[in-house]
Structure 1
Amino acid sequence: MTGVSEHPDTNHIRVAVVDDHEMFRAGVIATLQPAFTIVGQAGDVDSSVAMIAQTKPDVVLLDVHVPGGEGGGGTEILTKALSYSPNTAFLALSVSDSAQDVGAVIRAGARGYVTKTINATDLVAAIHQVSEGYAVFSPKLAGFVLSAFQGAPAAGADNDVNADEELDRLSSREQEVMRLIARGYTYREVAAELFISVKTVETHMSAVLRKLQLSNRSELTRWATVRRII
């Protein structure tokens, strides 16, 4: 993400950043500081809720998969933090573009959802829009969002109980790695996307295959495609 020039009409907006990847969080903050007032940052559920309760930001950039708390990640933060800061707008900023994740955070109260492939200019615009009360979503997520607001099962979401049980075997990080690998990312690309080492990706991938009782990434891609979770 490259830096953006200062926008006089947005630099009064108070923004907080929640993401468990410290390097990514620092990069986002450096990108946004010319345009907004950064009032806080956090990397887990409990510290995020406490930070939001204390600073009451106008907008929170929220990763979906954040550790800590009771294991609910971004949806848990939303549920708890909105009771302390009801006027805060939440914009999910996540590597995940799964219907499950999109539907969960929208129902929990997020005003928008964009993926981490967004460029700096568009992210600044998205923050400005949600601060004014508009809903903002990455274009490819529109169908998921419509289904979530209508209360219907999101298109592409897997509602099969067995699939849910299989997914529950994986940690949040393993699910992130699984989805990227199933989409065709190389280990190096996954490492760059998630700000982890290639060795760590290999470790997570081995755990995913073992837990799902699969032999290779081709089987994983078929498994994820059949369940429509990529």
Structure 2
Amino acid sequence: MTTVVIVDDHAMFRRGVRAELAEHVDVVAEAGDVAEAVAVIRAEQPDVVLLDVHLPGGGGVEVIRQAPSTDGRPVYLALSVSDAAEDVIGVIRGGARGYVTKTITGPELVDAIRRVDAGDAVFSPRLAGFVLDAFAGAIPLAAVDEDLDSLTEREREVMRLIARGYAYKEVAGELFISIKTVETHMSSVLRKLQLTSRHELARWAADRRLF
């Protein structure tokens, strides 16, 4: 059976995925942050790593950087709630073989794992367009990377939610932080991106297909 490590910072979600996969693959370990993920991947040397994009300690791309594939193993399959172009393109450029969202069904996830294990690239239908556009030059990757590199991981999360139209109170509830902290992050985002309002931020993010 294909050996799998599940990397996600929500233990309940990991348990649910493990239960879905139990009869089809061999889940050899779980991890909840970057450091733990790197340790278990090195120890277990799985065939496939199911990897969330946003993790404590640096994110999914940092896991791939610290525990890179050797001779094709492990294969990284991103499994995330995010369908933002920046996340999809970033993790694929980092070395992941596929990207599926958490709306995927259990049987679809089993199929995705088997396909990436066999060497295929696997994407949820909408996300494949981001990757094609990126390689076709429709999305200006260099400019996106340069702008986003100036933001911290938390600032990116706040930026994405504000750009989608969330109120500060809703962002605070979504990220489990105070409204004051949201305001602080938002001010920092606008300053770094040289924007003046949330409306400009929404246009900026839409132009770059970040949500």
Both proteins in one fold, TM over 0.5? yes
1:190–1:164 distance in 2 versus 1, CA, 3 Å: same
Would you say the 8 A contact 2:83–2:101 is kept in 1? Answer: yes
Counterpart Cα distance in 2 of 1:114 and 1:223: 25
Matches within 5 A, 1:98-109: 98-109=84-95
Q: CA deviation at 1:225?
A: 1.8
1:202–1:215 distance in 2 versus 1, CA, 3 Å: farther
Match of 1:179 in 2: 160
Which stretch of structure 1 is more off in the superposition, 180-189 or 30-39?
Answer: 180-189
Q: Deviations over 1:146-203 (max 9, x none)?
A: 355x4x54x3455437x834x3454324423432442346789878xxxx75753746
Matches within 5 A, 1:21-40: 21-40=10-29
When normalised by structure 1's length, the TM-score is 0.72
Which residue of the other structure, out of 128, 140, 143, is the alignment partner of 1:160? 143
- 1:42 corresponds to which letter in structure 2? A
Match of 1:140 in 2: 126
Would you say the 8 A contact 1:157–1:229 is kept in 2? Answer: no
Q: Percent of aligned positions with the same letter in both sequences? A: 53
Which runs of no fewer than 5 residues in structure 1 stay unpaired? 1-11
Which residue of the other structure, out of 20, 30, 36, is the alignment partner of 1:41? 30
Counterpart Cα distance in 1 of 2:131 and 2:61: 15
Secondary structure (helix, strand or coil) at the match of 2:19 reads helix
Which residue of the other structure, out of 152, 177, 183, is the alignment partner of 1:206? 183
Match of 1:113 in 2: 99
Which runs of no fewer than 5 residues in structure 2 stay unpaired? none
- The aligned length equals 207
Secondary structure (helix, strand or coil) at the match of 2:36 reads helix
Q: CA deviation at 1:80?
A: 2.8
Q: Give me the CA root mean square deviation.
A: 3.2
- 1:160 corresponds to which letter in structure 2? A
When normalised by structure 2's length, the TM-score is 0.78
Q: Deviations over 1:87-115 (max 9, x none)?
A: 22110112232333322322332111112
- 1:21 corresponds to which letter in structure 2? H
Q: Deviations over 1:30-82 (max 9, x none)?
A: 332243221111122222111111111121101122232xx4x3222223323
1:121–1:188 distance in 2 versus 1, CA, 3 Å: farther
Counterpart Cα distance in 2 of 1:111 and 1:124: 15
